Amino acid sequence: MSTIRYQSPDYYWVDELLTDEHKLIRGSVRDWVNRAVIPIIDEANQKHEFPRHLTKELGEIGAFGPYIPVEYGGAGLDQIAYGLIMQELERGDSSIRSAASVQSSLVMYPIYKYGTEEQKRKFLPKLATGDLIGAFGLTEPNHGSDPGSMLTHFTDEGDHYLLNGSKMWITNSPIADVSVVWAKDGEGKIRGLLVEKGMEGFTAPETLRKWSLRSSLTGELVFDNVKVPKENLLPCIHGLKGPLSCLSSARYGIAWGVIGAAMDCYDTALQYSKERKQFGKPIAAFQLTQKKLAEMLTEITKAQLLAWRVGVLRNEDRATPAQISMAKRNNVKMALDVARESRQILGAMGITGDFPIMRHMMNLESVITYEGTHDIHLLITGNDITGESAFS
Ligand code: TGC
Ligand code: FAD
């Protein structure tokens, strides 16, 4: 209901920092979200279903690999455009943004950055169109925040690698055609392997009964003596910085994406507060409601400026992992707080599927955990400013 009348807030005229092309891209993704996502997303969440039919459309609107060069099927856009696309998608639902984040930053990016020319030609164009779906396997059942301790490993068997181990909490795993899997080689160095659907000994069971990201598929990746052809190794990267560099790209997208969820909650609460009357006047007239709305808009505005600045730094190839980490942490927490405050403004109506707020709030409980938990990101900033690692 509210989203059809959606008006994105722009209190500091951040639009003036955008090019005409940025605004055009944002407008077309917003139109697509209004048309394709908003009408179906509440029911898909209620039914715990991933709207699979949207993957091809996401490819068509350029949401898969927006910054991957055109010669490999991407859209060749800059980082601000990528961020704006993520913002619009997450205004629809974090699950939709997740699908685009994983495909773009966690699958296409490592293949583009660390893959062979053959790997790029084989996978990137089809990932860009959504003809292939990708997944990224870093987290393990016993190694989440500390991926460097992973157990998944492979041995060199002469004409192929033999892969054993398992990954957990993997977005898209049950439907992925290709999974970028991080595993240790015989010397204990972390390497990236492209594991394809159908390889013998490879299974990807779905994780069910989630209360969050219910329109996103999550699952495991299980490797039982999987023979991986040697040409499926990403040759140009060794060590934990491989997967972490992909995370930097995805975390940046999340820093923008969650602003979309926050804007949707704020806009819904603002409209509702003007229409809902108690004690003979709109609840918007009460000082405590105004305090909530004023604080929400302030935090959204600060988050917009943070995301925009990190985008400029990324366009100049100057953004540090710690700067991106701060933007992810701040903006996700901001969005979760905005969702909780907005939910209060709607009273009982706030818990229903008639409004998007509760769905955003539940989704954001995953977003504050994945791609590095809120506390891990605090410690990344702590490490950066003190020079002391709390991890080792
Ligand atoms: P540490 O010694 O700090 O770093 C190891 C090497 O990596 C380099 N590095 C980075 N490089 C690029 N980008 C980054 N963000 C980087 N962070 C670190 C670092 O310079 C070092 O390089 P070198 O050359 O010296 O080897 O490693 P550590 O073991 O102490 O761990 C640090 C820690 C805890 C911060 C890190 O492991 C971490 O970020 N943990 C959180 C794990 C995480 O974020 N997992 C996400 C899994 S994927 C996911 O959640 C997808 S959700 C998808 C969706 O649906 O949207
Ligand atoms: P843990 O690491 O066990 O942490 C538990 C708690 O301990 C957290 O609060 C954490 O902050 C705290 N903690 C841990 N270490 C420290 C420390 N040193 N100091 C202080 N506190 C600490 N992973 C992938 O690889 N690919 C995916 O596609 C993917 N998709 C996901 C989708 C969903 C819906 C979810 C929920 C997760 C997904 N993940 C994925 C996994 C995600 O990245 C991990 O859940 C996350 O990194 C945290 O790991 P964990 O859940 O094992 O928590």
For residue 207, the 8-state DSSP code is P
Output b/e per residue, 300-321; b: 16+ Cβ within 10 A. Answer: bbebbebbbebbebbeeeebeb
Q: What is the pTM of this model?
A: 0.98
Catalytic residues, by residue number, are 371
| Dihedral sign for Cα atoms in the order 143, 144, 146, 148 | positive
| Centre of ligand 2 from the C-alpha of residue 193, in Å | 22
Q: In the chain, how many domains are there? A: 3
The pLDDT of 51-58, averaged and rounded, is 98
The response to whether residue 140 sits with its C-beta less than 6 Å from ligand 1 reads no
pLDDT for residue 3 is more than 70: no
The response to whether residue 213 sits with its C-beta less than 6 Å from ligand 2 reads yes
Co-location of 181 and 276 in the same domain: no
The better pLDDT of the pair 174, 392 is held by 174
Does residue 13 belong to any structural domain of this protein?
yes
Pocket test for ligand 1, best of 133, 244, 317 (most atoms within 8 A of CB): 244
Pocket test for ligand 2, best of 93, 376, 380 (most atoms within 8 A of CB): 376
pLDDT confidence bin for 392, thresholds 50/70/90? confident
Does residue 392 belong to any structural domain of this protein?
no
Domain closes at, from 100, 129, 158: 129
Q: E strands along 172-208, which residues?
A: 178-184, 190-196, 202-203
The pLDDT of 223-248, averaged and rounded, is 98
pLDDT confidence bin for 2, thresholds 50/70/90? very low
| Centre of ligand 2 from the C-alpha of residue 305, in Å | 27
Does residue 218 belong to any structural domain of this protein?
yes
Point out the ligand nearest to the CA of residue 204. Answer: 2
The pLDDT of 139-143, averaged and rounded, is 98
Co-location of 50 and 178 in the same domain: no
Instruction: Determine which residue's CA is closest to atom 7 belonging to ligand 1.
Output: 241
The response to whether residue 380 sits with its C-beta less than 6 Å from ligand 1 reads yes
pLDDT for residue 90 is more than 60: yes
| Centre of ligand 2 from the C-alpha of residue 310, in Å | 24
pLDDT for residue 154 is more than 70: yes
Q: Which CATH number do you get for residue 275?
A: 1.20.140.10
The response to whether residue 375 sits with its C-beta less than 6 Å from ligand 2 reads yes
Co-location of 146 and 272 in the same domain: no
The response to whether residue 189 sits with its C-beta less than 6 Å from ligand 1 reads no
Co-location of 203 and 72 in the same domain: no
> Which atom number of ligand 2 is nearest to the Cα of residue 142?
52
Co-location of 74 and 117 in the same domain: yes
| 20 Cβ contact list (under 8 Å, min separation 6) | none
The DSSP code sequence of 272-331 is HHHH-EETTEEGGGSHHHHHHHHHHHHHHHHHHHHHHHHHHHHHTT---HHHHHHHHHHH
Co-location of 255 and 223 in the same domain: no
Instruction: Determine which residue's CA is closest to atom 2 belonging to ligand 1.
Output: 240
Point out the ligand nearest to the CA of residue 181. Answer: 2
Does residue 53 belong to any structural domain of this protein?
yes
Instruction: Determine which residue's CA is closest to atom 19 belonging to ligand 2.
Output: 376
User: Could you report the per-residue pLDDT of 163-214, keeping only the tens digit for each?
Assistant: 999 999 999 999 999 999 999 999 999 999 999 999 999 999 999 999 999 9
Domain closes at, from 183, 206, 232: 232
The response to whether residue 211 sits with its C-beta less than 6 Å from ligand 2 reads no
Co-location of 12 and 54 in the same domain: yes
The pLDDT of 266-292, averaged and rounded, is 98
User: Could you report the per-residue pLDDT of 283-293, keeping only the tens digit for each?
Assistant: 999 999 999 99
The response to whether residue 136 sits with its C-beta less than 6 Å from ligand 2 reads yes
Q: Which CATH number do you get for residue 155?
A: 2.40.110.10
Pocket test for ligand 1, best of 136, 240, 364, 392 (most atoms within 8 A of CB): 240
Co-location of 245 and 382 in the same domain: yes
User: Could you report the per-residue pLDDT of 305-325, keeping only the tens digit for each?
Assistant: 999 999 999 999 999 999 999
Domain closes at, from 129, 145, 166: 129
Instruction: Determine which residue's CA is closest to atom 40 belonging to ligand 1.
Output: 145
Point out the ligand nearest to the CA of residue 392. Answer: 1
pLDDT confidence bin for 4, thresholds 50/70/90? low
Co-location of 207 and 253 in the same domain: no
Q: Which CATH number do you get for residue 125?
A: 1.10.540.10
Q: Is residue 303 a contact partner of residue 334, using CB atoms and an 8 Å limit?
A: yes
Does residue 79 belong to any structural domain of this protein?
yes
The pLDDT of 8-27, averaged and rounded, is 98
Point out the ligand nearest to the CA of residue 149. Answer: 1
| Centre of ligand 1 from the C-alpha of residue 206, in Å | 25
| Centre of ligand 2 from the C-alpha of residue 215, in Å | 20
Co-location of 108 and 140 in the same domain: no
Instruction: Determine which residue's CA is closest to atom 8 belonging to ligand 2.
Output: 373
Pocket test for ligand 2, best of 145, 173, 379 (most atoms within 8 A of CB): 145
Co-location of 247 and 382 in the same domain: yes
Does residue 391 belong to any structural domain of this protein?
no
**Residue 94 region, left (φ>0) first, then alpha (ψ -120 to 50), else beta?**
alpha
User: Could you report the per-residue pLDDT of 349-381, keeping only the tens digit for each?
Assistant: 999 999 999 999 999 999 999 999 999 999 999
pLDDT at 377: 98
Co-location of 332 and 247 in the same domain: yes
User: Could you report the per-residue pLDDT of 39-53, keeping only the tens digit for each?
Assistant: 999 999 999 999 999
pLDDT confidence bin for 1, thresholds 50/70/90? very low
**Chain center to CA of 155:** 32
Q: How far apart are CA 243 and CA 374, in angstroms?
A: 19
Residue 80, domain extent = 3-129
The pLDDT of 241-257, averaged and rounded, is 98
For residue 171, the 8-state DSSP code is E
